[in-house]
Amino acid sequence: MAKIKASKGAPYARIIGVGGYRPIRVVPNEVILEHIDSSDEWIRSRSGISTRHWANDEETVAAMSVEASGKAIADAGITAEQIGAVIVSTVSHFKQTPAVATEIADKLGTGKAAAFDISAGCAGFGYGLTLAKGLIVEGSAEYVLVIGVERLSDLTDLEDRATAFLFGDGAGAVVVGPSQEPAIGPTVWGSEGDKSETIKQTVPWTDYRSGTVEKFPAITQEGQAVFRWAVFEMAKVAQQALDAAGVDPADLDVFIPHQANERIIDSMVKTLKLPESVTVARDVRTTGNTSAASIPLAMERLLATGEARSGDTALVIGFGAGLVYAATVVTLP
C-alpha cells in the first residue's frame, strides 16, 4: 500500500495586502426617505448610517472585485501570477454558474488559479479567510486572494422600512500569504439554522420566474431578533476568538466587526469591555451594510486613514444570514 506524501506548506499564514472599492455614487439618507416614511434622525439613531454607495451599470460584482483585488495585490507586493487561489464571498452575483471568481481570476491575469465562490452572507469574509489559511498551511497555494463583494442595492426593497436604509455596495479584498509566525488565529465559526428565517430573501427566484409574485426578490429581516442575537450571542463568539488566540481584550489594538449597525457595534464593545485604546471600525456610517465586503472595506479604510497600523492586532467578526458567524484575531498587514 502506497503512502501519500505529506504536503509542504508554510508553517503559518498572514494577511499581507488589502484593497477596497466603493462605487462612485454616494447615496444620502434623503434619497431613501423618498420611498419610506421616516427621517434622517431616525435612520442615524437606529443604524448610524448617513450615506451608502450604490453601484452603476458598469460597477458589476466582477468589476468592483477586480479594482479592489488589484489594490490588494499591489499592497502585498506580489504579482497576479503568484496567486494560487481566488475565493469570492457574495450573495449578489446573479449567475448561478459559472462562479464569478473564475471571471475575476482571469481578468486579474492569475493564470490558472483555483477559483470558486462561497455563500456565507455577512460572515463570508471570515469563512474565506479561514479557507485561505488552510490552503497555505496545507501547501495547495502560496498566495490566496480573498474577496468580499456585494451589490446589495439590487436586492433592496426601497419600500421596506426595516431594511431600505441599510444596504450598500462595494468590494474588499485581501491577499493571504505564508508566515513564519502565527498571524491569523483559530477561527470560531458556526451556524444556527433554526434562526434562518430572521434574515432571508423574500421569495425564491423560481416564484418570480413563474409569476407567482410580481415583485423582484429582496433581502428582508426581523430587525429586533437579529439585533438581540448579534448583541448577546456574537459578543460570546468574539470572546471565544480572543481566548482561542490567547489575546486579552486589554492587549487588542483594533476591533473590526461586521458593519451591520452602529448600535450593535457599540453594544459589542460594551459587552466585551474593550478599553478606550482599542480602535473600533465604524465604516458603516458612510458605507452602510455591505455584507461580505464590510470587514475588508473597514480594514482598508482604517489602514488608509492611519487609525490602524501595520502589525496591529485586530479582532474581526462577521455574522448574518443563515444565521452564520465567523470570528478570528489577525495581525494587520
Amino acid at 172: G
Q: Which residues pair with 54 in a beta bridge?
A: 25
The question of whether 122 is a catalytic residue gets the answer: yes
Tell me the CA distances in angstroms from 268 to 261, 265, 276, 301, one per residue in order.
11, 5, 13, 21
Q: How far apart are CA 43 and CA 93, in angstroms?
A: 28
Q: Which residues pair with 315 in a beta bridge?
A: 255, 329
Residue 244 burial class via C-beta count within 10 angstroms: exposed 0-12, middle 13-18, buried 19 and up: middle
Q: How far apart are CA 265 and CA 244, in angstroms?
A: 21
The question of whether 261 is a catalytic residue gets the answer: no
Q: What angle do CA 242, 245, 251 make, to 5 degrees?
A: 60
- Helices 294-305, 124-138: axis angle to 10 degrees equals 80
Q: How far apart are CA 323 and CA 41, in angstroms?
A: 29
CB 125 within 8 A of CB 300: no
Q: How far apart are CA 146 and CA 70, in angstroms?
A: 12
The question of whether 258 is a catalytic residue gets the answer: yes
> Of the candidates 290, 52, 282, 299, which has an alpha carbon nearest to the alpha carbon of residue 175?
299
Per-residue buried b or exposed e for 4-36, using 16+ beta carbons within 10 Å of the residue's own CB: eeeeebbeebbbbbbbbbbbeeebebeebbeeb
Taken as a whole, the chain contains a residue count of 333
Identify the active-site residue in 29, 53, 93, 122.
122
Q: How far apart are CA 74 and CA 173, in angstroms?
A: 11
User: How many Å is the Cα radius of gyration of the chain?
Assistant: 19
Identify the active-site residue in 29, 53, 93, 258.
258
Identify the active-site residue in 53, 93, 261, 289.
289
CB 284 within 8 A of CB 294: yes
Active site residues: 122, 258, 289
